[in-house]
Amino acid sequence: MIPASVSDYRLLAKKRLPKFLFEYIDGGAFSESTLARNNSDFQQLALRQRVLRDVSNVSTASTLLGQPVNLPLALGPVGIAGFNARRGEVQAAQAAEQAGVPFCLSTVSACSIEEVRTGTQEGFWFQLYMMRDRGFLQATLDRAWAAGCRTLVFTVDMPVPATRYRDIRSGLSGGTALQRQLTRICQVLARPRWALDVGIKGQPLSLGNIASALGDKAGIDEFWRWLGENFDASVTWKSLETIRQHWHGKLVIKGILDPDDAREAAKLGADGIVVSNHGGRQLDGAPSSIVALPHIVEAVAGELDILLDSGVRSGLDIVRAVALGASGVIIGRPWVYGLAARGGAGVSDIIAIYEREVRVAMALTGCTSIAELNRDILTSHNLSPSALTPG
**CB contact at 8 A, 309 and 289:** yes
| Secondary structure class of 363 (helix, strand, coil) | helix
Three-class SS state of 205: coil
Burial 51-84 (b: 16+ CB within 10 A, else e): eeeebeebebebebbeeebebbbbbbbbbbbbbb
pLDDT at 385: 44
Which CATH number does 6-165+228-380 carry? 3.20.20.70
Collect all residues with Cβ–Cβ distance below 8 Å to 192 and sequence separation of at least 6: none
Active-site residue flag, 246: no
pLDDT of residue 204: 67
pLDDT at 174: 81
Residue 389: per-residue pLDDT: 55
**Residue 166 CB-half CA count within 13 A:** 16
Task: Spell out the alpha helix ranges (H) of the chain.
Answer: 6-16, 19-26, 33-43, 88-99, 113-118, 134-146, 165-170, 177-189, 192-194, 211-214, 220-230, 237-246, 259-268, 289-300, 315-323, 333-364
Three-state DSSP state, 255: strand
Does residue 104 contact residue 77 with C-beta atoms inside 8 Å?
yes
Is residue 224 within 8 Å of 210, Cβ to Cβ? no
Residue 19: burial class (beta carbons within 10 Å; 0-12, 13-18, 19+): buried
Q: Looking at residue 384, what is its pLDDT?
A: 47
What would the pLDDT profile of 278-307 be if each residue is shown by its tens digit? Answer: 999 999 999 999 999 999 999 999 999 999
Q: Which of 246, 278, 295, 381 is catalytic?
A: 278
Question: CA–CA distance from 238 to each of 235, 258, 304 (Å)?
Answer: 8, 18, 19
Count of CB atoms situated within 10 Å of the CB of 253: 28
224-256: pLDDT as tens digits: 777 778 888 898 999 999 899 889 999 999 999
Q: What is the 3-state secondary structure (H, E, C) of 50-85?
A: CCCCCCCCCCCCEEECCEEECCCEEECCCCCHHHHC
Residue numbers in the chain where pLDDT is lower than 70: 204-205, 215-218, 380-391
